[in-house]
Every structure is written in structure tokens, then in C-alpha cells.
Amino acid sequence: MLRVALALIASVLLAGIPVSAQTSVQTGPNAFTFIAFGDMPYRDEDIEKVDRLIDAINKLKPAFTIHVGDIKSGAAPCTDADLARAIDQINTIEGPVVYTMGDNEWTDCHREIRGQKFNPRERLAKLRDLAFATPGRTLGRTPMPVESQAKLSPKHAKFVENQRFTKNRVVFIVAHVVGSNNGFEPQDPQAAVEYFERNAATVAWIADGFRVARETDARAVVVVFHANVYELRQAYPAMPRASGFLDTVNAVARGARAFGRPVLVVHGDHHVLELESFKDASMRPVPNTFRLQVPGDSLVHAVRILVDPDAPGVFGFVPLIVPENGPF
């Protein structure tokens, strides 16, 4: 029913209602909004579309914006210039931008494109330098301070991309979990070593975020990463042990059940708008959870999330559609 409702909202907005019409929302005194998007631009001609989307975001003036990763397509080069151009575009958003990495900007850079291919671990190091040069501060023209796992845990000093912050008693946990099976490739020993270290840091970060939420009596939790963690399809109704997402799913499900209040998981990866319950590793819905996948690829649009910590369900959702960018 939630997917149907979102489709109906989208059809109304596409009928010609301007973006500015989405600004009137009845909320409580602690309410705020943020915008989530990602998996774009995937083509040269989409760069202008992303600029238009950023203009729409800037007009709405959200508390902050979340980019869920994939700042380029998997078929685009992974050069320093390509990565820097994408980060520079994100930085044209006037407010704070919380960015988490996708697979296209590092994991998949082993592919040969236009005669070039890269070592994914080297590209990861480069991306950390470009996007997280100052751990504990977001991107955007007006950065905001955040907690960084690199600063809070000497054991995890390299994971500058794992971030956390609280807004009006809602805890946000940003974790590095990417598509392409989370970079877990058993046939590549270096990839496996990188995965196991990062995966351990991610699981610890998610668990610690839920601990903070419980101890501070938070009203809700938002977990952000890139991957659609149900990427692997199998014949039986449970996630296989070979899945690079199994530990992440277990960490979120375990944290959400212990927390007992609304939890929203925001991600990208599969490019179409989805909204349903977050499922555990046995594919059972976890109570009090939402899983929001934002549009991407040729769907150069976003989702506006309405957060009212004093409302029972806390979260509301409105597609942010730029009519000039084409179908939703």
C-alpha cells in the first residue's frame, strides 16, 4: 500500500504541481525535513539534470541533504578528475550534504573503461581524500559537524566515511555499505581483506549508533548506506552466508528490535523508488521499520523525508520531482 500511495503522489506532482508546492506541511515544533538522492549522474547529459535537481533542493532549504552514493555510473571512468567533478557538483548544494560512498566510485573501478582501469583500494583511498578530507564535517556549501568513527575509535581510524549525528532526538547512522556484494569477492584476496576489515567497522558502528539512540532516549533512528542489501536473489527465503550484506542486515535488525521505536533505512543502488518494511536475514519484516530506496540512474529525482519526532510514526515521504528531468 505504501508503494501505491507514493505512486499516486508522484502522478499528482508530475501533472504539473511545482516543486515549491511541496513546502507546506503541517508538523510539530520539533519537525524538520531532509532530502535523499543518489545514483546519479550516470551520463554526461544527466549532469545538467542533477544541476536542476540541486536547484530544487536549494529552493526547499532542507535541514540537510543525504547523497546515498554512486556519484557516477559503473561505465564511466574512475579518474581523479571524474571523481572530483562529481564531488564539486555535490558541493553546490547550499546546505550540509551527508555523503556515503557507492560501488561505482571505487569497488567497480577494476573494470577497463576507455583503456583505463584502477585498483579499487587505491580509488577508495583517493575518495576518502576528496570527500572526507576533514573527518567530522559534511560536504555542501554550509557543512555541519558530525561524529566520525575515525575520531571516536582509534581501532577504526581509517573509516572517516562512517558518520553519526543527532537532529531533534533522531539519531542518524551513516555506514559504508556498497553494492556489488559490498565489495566481497572471495576470489580476490586483497578485496576480501578490505571487506572483512570494513565490514567489522560497519557492524560496530551500527551497533554503537543504536546504543546511543537507546541511551539518549531518541525518538527514532535513520540508517543510511548505499547498497540494496537484498541484491542477491536465491531460491530459498533467507540470505546466503556468501552475501556481503548479511552482517549489515543482522546488525540493523538486531538494533531496531532492541530500540523498539521507528527506524528508517535509506539507500540507493537499484534506482527505483521503494518503500516497505526493512526485512531481516530470513526475509521477515522487522517491526517499526521502513526501508526507503531512492530513485536514480535515468530517474533524476529525489525524495523529501518529513521528520516529526513528536508524531507516532515520525516519518513521512514526498517525492521531489523535477518535471524537466523527465519521467519518474
Specify the pLDDT at position 12: 32
Whole-number percent of the chain with pLDDT over 90? 84
Q: What are the pLDDT digits (tens) for 165-187?
A: 999 999 999 999 999 999 998 88
Q: Which position has the higher pLDDT, 113 or 176?
A: 176
- pLDDT tens, position by position, 262-286: 999 999 999 999 999 999 999 999 9
For the chain, what percent of residues have pLDDT higher than 70? 90
For residue 6, the model assigns a pLDDT of: 45
| Average pLDDT value for residue range 121-137 | 97
Which pLDDT belongs to residue 295?
Answer: 98
Q: Above 80 in pLDDT, residue 2?
A: no
Mean local confidence (pLDDT), 20-48: 83
Say which CATH number the domain at 111 has: 3.60.21.10
Residue 107 has pLDDT above 70, yes or no: yes
Nearest partner of 177 among 159, 150, 157, 158, judged by Cα = 159
Checking if the pLDDT of 88 tops 80, the result is: yes
Predicted local confidence at residue 233, as pLDDT: 54
Nearest to 63 by CA among 87, 32, 92: 32
pLDDT above 70 for 232: no
CB-hemisphere CA count at 13 Å for 305?
Answer: 26
Kindly report the CA angle at 87 between 290 and 34, in degrees rounded to 5? 30
Half-sphere exposure of 87 (CA within 13 A, CB side): 22
Q: How many domains does the chain have?
A: 1
pLDDT at position 40 is 98
- Cα–Cα distance between 141 and 195 in angstroms, integer? 32
What is the domain range of residue 274?
Answer: 2-17+26-325
pLDDT at 21 over 90: no
Least confident piece of the model among 13-17, 20-24, 48-52, 298-302: 13-17
Rg of the chain over all Cα atoms, to the nearest angstrom: 19
Residue identified by cell 539512540 is 213
When mean pLDDT is compared across 75-79, 124-128, 233-237, the lowest value belongs to: 233-237
At residue 113, the pLDDT reads: 80
Query: Are 237 and 258 within 8 A, CB to CB?
Result: no
pLDDT at 237: 66
**To the nearest whole number, what is the mean pLDDT of the chain?**
90
Q: Which residue has the higher pLDDT, 10 or 58?
A: 58
The backbone torsions φ and ψ at residue 241, rounded to the nearest 5 degrees and listed phi first, read -65, -20
pLDDT digits (tens, 9 = 90+) for 234-254: 555 677 767 999 999 999 999
